[in-house]
Amino acid sequence: MSFLKTLRSKILTGFILSITATFLILLYLVNLQIKNINIPLTEDLNQQIIDAKANEVGTWLYQRISELRVISENEMFKTMDMDMIRPYIRSLNKKVNSKYGNENETFAVVSLEGKGWINDDVTIDINNREYFQEALSTDKEFIISNPIISKSDSEPIVIIAYPIYNVQGKKVGFIDGAINLSKLSEIASGITLQDGVAWIMDGDGNIFTSKNGAKTNIKNMDYYGYKGFKEASENMLKGESGTHTIVKPDGGKAALKYASIPYAKGWSLGIIISLNRMYEDTNRLIHLIIIFGVILLIISILISILFSSSVVKPIRVLQKLMAKVEDGNLNSYYKITGNDEIAELGKSFNNMLTKINDLINKVYTEQNKKRKAEFQALQSQIKPHFLYNTLDTIQWKAIEVNDFEVADMITALSNLFRISISKGKEIITLGEEIEHIKSYLLIQKIRYEDILEYTILFDESLKKCKVLKLLIQPIVENSIYHGIKNKRSKGLIGISIFKENNDICITVKDDGIGINAEELKIINSQLHEIREENNNVGFGLFNVNERIKLAYGTSYGVKISSIFGNGTEVIIKIPIVNEVD
């Protein structure tokens, strides 16, 4: 049995044995199977498929009914408080439309007078609808309408009307679910039995979801010219399941298979299958098995040899390459030939090597950048206590001579340095960052009193969030020196900080001279990548952007928009972080 130890020998042996055994068994059983078992089994399986598909449609409808039941039991509907219901329905429709599209279901709340509300733009009057009158006059749990044309978007739909009762048990309205017929058509069209055409028929005999979109009524004419369809459909309208033989327009015979759809009274799912087409595959199978079986038996050995070689050879190549990688050779790439699964495995192997090499290079580059940044930070450190004490002395000297403006500037400058240095920490609270920009703007306001105004708006709940320090000041500095000063008249800088989903958005907007379109395009292009070096133009902007991307990932950073002559807006996006890792 040592022959069976290799993969090639196992494939070869299994292939030959399976072909030979299958051929011998099929030759013996095929006639008996087809004549006595296969044909009735096929018919029974087809009927089971029809029954299962009908149950699938019914289950889908019941899910929609259950949704309406849950909605109707909400306390706000018991009081028909439209001020509460409207936003609820609006939100519900939005969620359903976003998840499934407009083919699944649209909800509307309807009063006893037939006034329906879907959204602020769409209201309907369905008082004259037959299903609505039935819903008013009956105590049924729900009513499913026959196909109608929607009054809101003129699309063919089916309505499920579910009553709403107040706390006293009195009917006060309805919650309606509008189902696009295309959804039911999609479910019904999922049947592919011998090229049969599937459709759904309602309680009035209307066929409305056939594949080619045709609509007819079996009370008036035969469906597509099939003789006997009208008589067979009487059982369908009674809610029965079964099979009828009918005559096709060309004189051939066909089987009409149908099943009742649960929860939809009088509805049936049907399919017409040609009898010749139903048995054609079976008869063809007999001849094909006999003819090709002999051929397969003769050439099975040759095929198995070629097949096993083509499968095993590239696997052996990959095996050797993997051994080289284990030894540290990360340039052992696989030469890809063909488009089969082995080729895909080779592509994955090559991609893995590329990513490993890229990761090694990336780690090496980032470590170098980190060491460089740490070295630069170390060089820029100063003795904070000496600086604060000196500024404090200057402040008191200014107060002694009643120069309070200078004293205020020194206080702001001291705060500016204190937060900038922050004991060497790179992470501070958003509240500290806001205090920092306030101090900076106070100094600049005194310097440029005649040309600078500013506003700062922020969400108080975000003040304790952790952020990289010095995010806002470089952007504001750009606004002053490149926007406001060049305007040569008084300008305004507006800063707003707010929460957006799980992120913090910081906008800095000025009404300065703006940026021309060509330069703006270059800046935005450079903001999309982390650069090794920066030029002097917009250094602060790129510095902030790169620090954010390195800290939080490439989905965060800085965006800039501007209209030349009308100002510039910069948006900083960072995640909400409540604790420092």
Q: Is residue 370 part of a domain?
A: no
Write down which residue in 274, 293, 316 finishes a domain: 316
Q: Average pLDDT of 41-54?
A: 83
Q: Give a yes or no: residue 134 inside a domain.
A: yes
Q: What domain range is 176 assigned to?
A: 1-316
Most confident segment among 217-231, 369-383, 429-443, 456-470: 456-470
What's the pLDDT at 290?
76
pLDDT given at position 175: 92
Two tokens, residue 196: 């049969």
Question: Does 385 score more than 80 pLDDT?
Answer: no
293 closest CA partner among 4, 20, 569, 576: 20
For 94-103, letters b (16+ CB in 10 Å) and e give eebeeeeeeb
Nearest alpha-carbon partner for 545 in 531, 566, 535: 531
Token pair listed for 321: 């390459």
pLDDT for position 510: 94
CB 200 within 8 A of CB 269: yes
Number of structural domains found in the chain: 2
Mean pLDDT of 64-90: 87
User: Do residues 63 and 187 lie in contact, with contact meaning Cβ atoms separated by under 8 Å?
Assistant: no
- 426's tokens: 């790179």
Confirm whether 388 is domain-assigned: no
pLDDT at 224: 59
Residue 389 binned pLDDT confidence (cut-offs 50, 70, 90): low
- 195 backbone dihedrals φ, ψ, rounded to 5°: 60, 20
Residue 161 is predicted with a pLDDT of 92
Compute the CA torsion angle 449, 452, 457, 458 (nearest 10 deg).
-90
Question: pLDDT by residue (tens digit) across 68-77?
Answer: 899 888 888 8
Let me know: does 164 contact 171? Beta carbons within 8 Å: yes
Domain end (from 316, 335, 355): 316
Region 139-168: mean pLDDT is 84
Q: Which residues, at least 6 apart from 163, have a Cβ–Cβ distance to it below 8 Å?
A: 72, 135, 141, 142, 171, 173, 174
**Residue 536: per-residue pLDDT:** 44
570 pLDDT above the threshold of 50: yes
CATH code where residue 535 lies: 3.30.565.10
pLDDT of res. 43: 78
pLDDT of 386 > 50? The answer is no
Among 202-211, 268-277, 292-301, the minimum mean pLDDT is found in 202-211
Q: pLDDT tens for residues 248-266?
A: 778 888 888 888 888 888 8
Residue 195 vs residue 434, higher pLDDT: 434
- Of 101, 206, 198, 102, the C-alpha closest to 147 is 206
Give the residue from 298, 316, 334 where a domain finishes: 316
* Separation between Cα atoms, residue 292 and residue 283, nearest integer Å: 14
Asked whether the predicted pLDDT for residue 318 surpasses 80, the reply is no
For residue 222, name the pLDDT band (cuts at 50, 70, 90). low
Q: How confident is the model at residue 387 (pLDDT cuts 50, 70, 90)?
A: low
What is the full DSSP assignment across 483-502? IIGGGTS-EEEEEEEEEETT
The answer to whether 542 and 526 are in contact (CB under 8 A) is yes
Q: Rounded to whole angstroms, how far apart are CA atoms 196 and 205?
A: 20
State the Cα–Cα distance between residues 562 and 568, nearest whole angstrom.
4
Residue 160 forms part of a structural domain: yes
Residue 259 lies in a domain: yes
Does position 247 have pLDDT exceeding 90, yes or no? no
pLDDT in tens, 489-517: 889 999 999 999 999 999 999 999 999 98
What residues contact 194, with CB distance under 8 A and at least 6 apart?
A: 46, 273, 274, 277, 278, 280, 281
Looking at residue 407, what is its pLDDT? 64
Report pLDDT for 271.
Answer: 85
The pLDDT of residue 278: 74
Which own/partner pairs from 376-385 qualify as long-range (CB within 8 Å, at least 24 positions apart)?
377/424, 381/421, 381/424, 382/421, 384/417, 384/418, 384/421, 384/423
Positive or negative: CA dihedral 545, 546, 549, 555: positive
**Eight-class DSSP state of 261:** P
Looking at the DSSP bridge assignments, the partners of residue 175 are 109, 162
**pLDDT of amino acid 324:** 79
Give the residue-averaged pLDDT of 27-52.
77
Cα atoms in the Cβ-side hemisphere of radius 13 Å centred on 502? 4
Residue 89 reports pLDDT greater than 50: yes
pLDDT of residue 464: 92
User: Helices (DSSP H) in 181-274: which residue ranges?
Assistant: 181-188, 229-237
pLDDT of residue 579: 61
Q: What is the pLDDT of residue 13?
A: 78
How much is the average pLDDT of 514-533?
Answer: 80
274-to-51, 227, 406 alpha-carbon distances in Å: 19, 13, 99
CATH of the domain at 43: 3.30.450.20
Q: Which residue's structure tokens are 């604060």?
A: 388
Arithmetic mean of pLDDT, 530-554 = 72
Instruction: Say if residue 413's pLDDT is above 60.
Output: yes
Across residues 219-240, what is the average pLDDT? 70
pLDDT at 537: 43
Confidence at residue 139, expressed as pLDDT on a 0 to 100 scale: 87
Per-residue confidence at 337, pLDDT binned at 50, 70, 90? confident
DSSP 73: T
Write down the mean pLDDT value for the chain.
79
Least confident of 9-13, 123-127, 237-241, 422-426: 422-426
Give 501 or 103, the one with higher predicted confidence. Answer: 501
Instruction: Decide if 412 is inside a domain.
Output: no
Domain assignment of residue 361, yes or no: no
| Position 213 in a domain | yes
Rg (CA), the chain: 38
Angle between helices 430-447 and 404-421 (to 10 degrees): 140
Residue type, 125: D
Position 73 scores a pLDDT of 87
What's the farthest any 2 CA atoms get from each other in the chain? 118
111 φ, ψ (degrees, to nearest 5) = -80, 170
